[in-house]
Structure 1
Amino acid sequence: MKDATELIRALTGLAWPVFAAWVVGKLLPEIQHIMKKRDFSLKVGNNELTVQQFTDKVVETTAELQQQVAAQAGQGRVRHDPPPQQRVLHRILWVDDAPSNNAYEAGQLQAMGVEVVQAESTEEGLRALQEAARPFDAVISDMGRAEAGGFDPDAGLKLIRKIRETDDTTPVFLYGGAGAAARRDQVADAGGTGVTQSPTELFVLLGQVGRFPRTAT
């Protein structure tokens, strides 16, 4: 009797995965057919992404979170960061010649009550800073981007230096690939507050500047 009970439990446990696999197998050809006929896109913050772009971003971000959790678990403890400062991150300027690359992160910030103003060049970013009715609480920039004279691999550094000519206090972060992260010393020498290629670390860095207006839901 005991063996029979265990067998039933095992079969029950397998039932849902087998059923789900069967459904996917039946529907997948039709889904693929529809995807080929229509151009699916999603509105994320101020940008529009294809389903594939959005999925890739979700996978990347959740993978980063998993790595962070795994690293902390490997240390045998969960890190307790100091309480956030009293400063509130109301407005952030994001300078990047391809805003759609950061649509998911910008959408997360907006979900937490942060106004994200996007600029696609150093000139446009500096103009946004100068003409802002209210000051920005932080600036985020990529490292290399297309400028008026062509692609500039040091655009992020130049933006930091320009900002520091008149502003010594606004935090400026560089958010890019491994190439940008490898130039951490140069970013610091230029007056940058931090540099990262990780979306998770970016939010950690911003959280060290101040608190978000509300919790994402």
Structure 2
Amino acid sequence: MKEASALIGALTGLAWPLFASVVVWRLFPVIKNIAGRGNFTVRMGDAELTVQQFSDKLVEATADIQQRLTAVSASEGQEEPSEQTERPPGVLRRVLWVDDQPANNAYETAQLQSLGVEVVHATSTGEGVRALHKARPPFDAVISDMGRSEPAGYNTDAGLDLIREIRSFDDTTPVFVYASTKTLARKEEIATAGGNGVAWSPVKLFDLLHDAGEFPGAADG
């Protein structure tokens, strides 16, 4: 487990954003593999951490990296046009995530929560729309997958349908599609429907979310 301790130390001190982004992208499968081995403790200096404590430390470390990456990206890309529609900057306190497989986004959810963002999950377009109508306070952003299982069957355009539903009563809340790189081919279609951006990696997703509002951990710190 010395390698794991060294990994955490390296992650918290990373200064090279490109290398950090690769580590973040690769980290979740590694954690799943470690956790699948069963109960164990990890020695960190003079202390021992449980599997849960070890995972929490990794979440905190990579969430910090994500936050630093978005700050670097924002400072380096100020002259580039944003995928967002014009909207006053604020704080990203609540996010609605619509995906029929929430477990697939467990690590990204944990990172957001570590940064102080409340994440509410919905598994269908209808459930997501109802959550938006009932939300008090309102959500600051919406994330959706593209294709998902709906009550009527699998819908390859579920993300688009959700965006159109939202835009029928809400013109301002940012809506992002988080899916595979194949979805990039539909980027223009998503924008026409009213979507604010497409993400295919955690780093890109956090970049888009940072455009929607500052993470509470940074805003309150």
TM over 0.5, shorter chain: yes
Label 1:214 to 1:183 Cα distance change in 2 as closer, same or farther (>3 A): same
Describe the SS at the equivalent of 1:151.
strand
2:76 corresponds to which residue? 79
Matches of 1:127 and 1:164, distance apart in 2: 14
Q: Find 2:146's aligned residue among 135, 143, 147.
A: 143
Partner residue, 1:155? 158
* Counterpart residue identity of residue 105, structure 1: E
Aligned: 1:176 with 2:179: yes
Higher mean alpha-carbon deviation, 151-160 vs 194-203, is at 194-203
Corresponding residue number in structure 2 for 1:22:
none
The answer (yes or no) to whether the contact 2:89–2:212 under 8 Å persists in 1 is: no
Distance in 2, Cα, partners of 1:146 & 1:80: 36
Cα RMSD (Å): 3.7
- The higher radius of gyration belongs to 1
Query: Who is 2:19 aligned against?
Result: none
Aligned CA distance change for structure 1 residues 159 and 87 (closer, same or farther; 3 Å)? same
- 1:91 aligns to 2:88 (yes or no): no
Over the matched positions of the two proteins, sequence identity in percent amounts to: 53
Give the Cα–Cα distance (whole angstroms) in 2 for the partners of residues 190 and 181 of structure 1. 14
Cα deviation code 1:110-159 (max 9, x no counterpart): 00000000001111101100111211000000000000111100000000
- Partner of 1:183: helix, strand, or coil? helix
TM-score (norm 1): 0.63
Q: Describe how 1:104-143 pairs up with structure 2 within 5 A.
A: 104-143=107-146
SS class of match (2:216): coil
Moved segments of 4+, more than 2 Å: 78-82
- How big is each residue's C-alpha offset from its partner over 1:49-92, in whole Å with a ceiling of 9 and x where there is no partner? x99xx8xxx9xx89xx8xx8xxx9xxxxx82658xx64000100
CA 1:124–1:39: 2 relative to 1, 3 Å: farther
Q: Return 5+ residue gaps in structure 2 as ranges.
A: 4-35, 41-50, 80-87
CA distance in 1, matches of 2:215, 2:119: 12
| Aligned CA distance change for structure 1 residues 189 and 112 (closer, same or farther; 3 Å) | same
* Distance across 1 between alignment mates of 2:89 and 2:153: 41
Match 2:168 to one of 165, 188, 193 = 165
Displacement of 1:209: 1.4
- Shift of the 149–81 alpha-carbon distance from structure 1 to 2, 3 Å rule, reads same
| Whole-angstrom CA distance in 1 between matches of 2:136 and 2:196 | 23
The alpha-carbon deviation at position 39 of structure 1 amounts to 8.3
Q: Which one-letter code corresponds to 1:114 in the other structure?
A: V
TM (norm. structure 2) is 0.62
CA distance in 2: counterparts of 1:114 and 1:97, whole angstroms: 21
In structure 2, the partner of 1:201 is 204
